């Protein structure tokens, strides 16, 4: 039951992030939505993109949240969305702990406070100040019969 609610939460969060693209509509994407995986091992460190640099094609310039490297699929780019206010990425299944550790460190380095909530298959980091940034890492998201670690990031527009 918990896994069902976690999966439902991830799906709803992804839809909200996709719907929040600038201008209220989709912008066609010409960039690729796939990046070769840099690591399939838990604990291996794939490079992180600095905010606004070398990030998935669906994410707008100046995106304020660092995105860990090694993602396999950019879901929003697959939907034709670019320059969105969020990110929805799939990583190799074994990367759950690596992605959580990345955001443990990243949120600790931020000037604002983040609340971390953990469940068996999901970890959510929520900023306690404005802007209200939410980062969700889900275990065993399924797409086309393959299990992934799913990263969802929502940032308010502006």
Q: Encode pLDDT of 50-100 as tens digits.
A: 443 456 777 777 788 999 999 999 999 899 888 788 899 999 999 999 999
Query: Each residue of 110-123: b (16+ CB within 10 Å) or e?
Result: eeeebeeeeeebbb
Query: What is the per-residue pLDDT across 6-53, written as a single tens digit (0 to 9) for each?
Result: 433 444 344 333 333 333 333 333 333 344 333 333 333 344 444 434
Note the pLDDT of residue 108.
96
- Global pTM? 0.67
Q: Which residue has the higher pLDDT, 131 or 33?
A: 131
Q: Say which residue, 136 or 44, is predicted with more confidence.
A: 136
Task: Report how far residue 135's alpha carbon sits from residue 45's, in angstroms, rounded to the nearest whole number.
Answer: 19
Spatial distance between the Cα atoms of 45 and 28, rounded to a whole number of angstroms: 32
């Amino acid at each position: 039951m918990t896994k069902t609610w976690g999966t439902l939460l991830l799906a709803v969060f992804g839809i909200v992030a996709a719907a929040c693209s600038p201008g209220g509509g989709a912008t066609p994407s010409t960039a690729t939505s796939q990046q070769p995986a840099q690591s399939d091992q838990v604990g291996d460190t794939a490079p992180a993109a600095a905010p606004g640099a070398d990030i998935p094609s669906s994410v707008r310039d100046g995106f304020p949240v660092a995105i860990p490297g090694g993602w396999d699929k950019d879901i929003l780019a697959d939907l034709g969305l670019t320059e969105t206010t969020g990110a929805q990425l799939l990583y190799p299944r074994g990367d759950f702990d690596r992605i959580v550790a990345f955001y443990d460190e990243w949120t600790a380095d931020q000037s604002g406070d983040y609340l971390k909530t953990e469940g068996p298959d999901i970890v959510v980091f929520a900023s306690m100040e404005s802007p209200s940034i939410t980062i969700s890492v889900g275990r065993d998201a399924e797409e086309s019969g393959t299990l992934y670690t799913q990263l969802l990031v929502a940032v308010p527009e502006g």
